[in-house]
Structure 1
């Protein structure tokens, strides 16, 4: 592998602001201007007393750097904040597009980068803190790192429209999970998984989410999010206690991916690991272990 190009301070400032919520970047820009402006207008003695020449030179250098920095640093932070806001808006548009799609075309027609953005936003809406690693190309390496509490989960996105994801991909990711000490791994595809890939997950902390399950996951996450409440004003006005229930039947795809009987979240195919049904597939709640709802296939 080639050595990664070292970024400059300016690139780091921009990158930090772009990775944070946009309002944090704006707040940092204001603070940076206030601090640097204070140094920029500070009085520097024209002549130095004996023994204080070094201190005077340093003060003059700080003042000179602050004169430029008071404008450059806040502008970089504001640019990063703008990128953060635009990125957030883009992800929300992707979520709306998939939620409104009836045929699944919106998911299949996405670029690999938009697909990763969509998956990241879906996990954010499920309560995870998401870090987009930038992967190194389409489907390369770990695409997302998720945190909920003290647990780390890894996500690899596969934007494959015509092929099923084979067991080799899942097996390799399981090795990465062990190497990085992650508690769980998610493999998300716009297509499907082979039977061997699904069988490999038995007894392992690996979740396979195919295109159909992802679509339902996005629709349900959006329906549960606060921003989705504007889509239900008539129901809220007439029957407040049932405002969250009516959209569910219309937002789900036909019974292919059922809802959890306990919490209403999307369900994912799993393999029973023990008991009389060991080795048999069943529907398990996607929020496990928070919810332990199950359905038979």
Structure 2
């Protein structure tokens, strides 16, 4: 009788131990699966617009504007202006530009201070950026100033730019100029096509073939100016 009870007890003990072993195996599998998932997530590449790392020129010339950072946008503009016949000095290397990223000099020796802002569409250039450019251009002996952004300017920034004679390229106008250049051929993306800024009217075309944009003179009178400014300075009365 005692031997039978001992045999039954042994079977029960073995059953309990077997259950514990199986449970530990399942837990190990689940934890291993979680570790594999976390590793996969960690290696997923992400785009950092605030990065100061600049990829090679051949890569930039095939990259859409929404996938480049500020340093790369400055470099892309530098390549563009050089091909337009300007002498280009990159003064904003490392992000310490003091309000000016490029100084471009035309064949007549006239200097233009250029500020580049590579922003997402919803992030508009503020008034302070325009004021910084106006003040900083004197530090580089520049008479003219140009603000180039991938987004747009706030209403206040536009008024400030017109008041202090700061020319600006924004939104689709920048992309149109780069495409017309021919060297920038970005890969196609699923992003929605950019709209050309409302100030650009396709029906009004400059003698050089570029669209003209609405501007104002010192007296506040509106006129049409070539979008290729400062390389083209032709104007038309409205």
**TM-score, with length taken from structure 2:** 0.59
Contact 1:186 1:208 in 2 (8 A): yes
Q: Give the SS at the match of 1:209.
A: strand
Task: Kindly state the Cα deviation for residue 169 of structure 1 after the two structures are TM-superposed.
Answer: 0.8
2:113 maps to what in 1? 154
Q: CA deviation at 1:179?
A: 3.6
Q: Pairwise CA RMSD of aligned residues?
A: 3.3
Q: Structure 1 residues 159 and 144, CA, compared in 2 at 3 Å: closer, same or farther?
A: same
Alignment of 1:213 with 2:179, yes or no, is: no
Q: 1:186 touches 1:207 (CA, 8 Å); kept in 2? A: yes
For 1:110 and 1:140, locate their aligned partners in 2 and report how far apart those are by CA, in whole Å.
21
1:133 and 2:91 aligned = yes
What 5-or-longer segments of structure 2 have no aligned partner? 1-53, 186-193
Kindly state the Cα deviation for residue 279 of structure 1 after the two structures are TM-superposed.
4.7
In the other structure, the counterpart of 1:117 is: 75
Contact 1:260 1:266 in 2 (8 A): yes
Structure with the bigger percentage of strand: 2
CA distance in structure 1 between the partners assigned to 2:221 and 2:156 by the alignment: 13
Name the counterpart of 2:142: 182
Higher helix residue share = 1
**Paired position in structure 1 for 2:229:** 287
What TM-score do you get using the length of structure 1 for normalisation?
Answer: 0.49
Instruction: Find out whether 1:169 has 2:136 as its counterpart.
Output: no
Unmatched segments (≥5 aa) in structure 1:
1-86, 98-105, 229-251
Deviations 1:12-32 (A, max 9, x none): xxxxxxxxxxxxxxxxxxxxx
Looking at structure 2, the residues matched to 201 and 90 of structure 1 have their Cα atoms a distance apart, in angstroms, of: 33
1:145 to 103, 110, 113: 103
1:82 maps to none
> In 2 relative to 1, CA 175–283 (structure 1 residues): closer, same or farther, beyond 3 Å?
same
Cα displacement (A) at 1:267:
3.9
CA distance in 1, matches of 2:104, 2:212: 19
The equivalent residue for 2:206 is 261
Shift in Å, 1:171: 1.0
What is the rounded CA distance, in whole Å, between the counterparts of 2:148 and 2:197 in structure 1?
A: 20
Counterpart of 1:199 in structure 2 is: 159
Instruction: State the alpha-carbon separation in 2 of the partners of residues 260 and 90 from structure 1.
Output: 35
CA distance in 2, matches of 1:286, 1:131: 20
Q: How many residue pairs get matched?
A: 172
- Contact residue 145 and residue 155 of structure 1 kept, 8 A: yes
**Structure 1 Cα separation of the partners of residues 146 and 226 of structure 2:** 15
Alignment check: 8 A CA contact 1:95 1:118 kept: yes
1:157-179 CA-to-partner distances (Å, cap 9, x unmatched) read 11121311011110121011234
> Is the 1:112–1:139 Cα contact (8 Å) retained in structure 2?
no
Contact 1:165 1:193 in 2 (8 A): yes
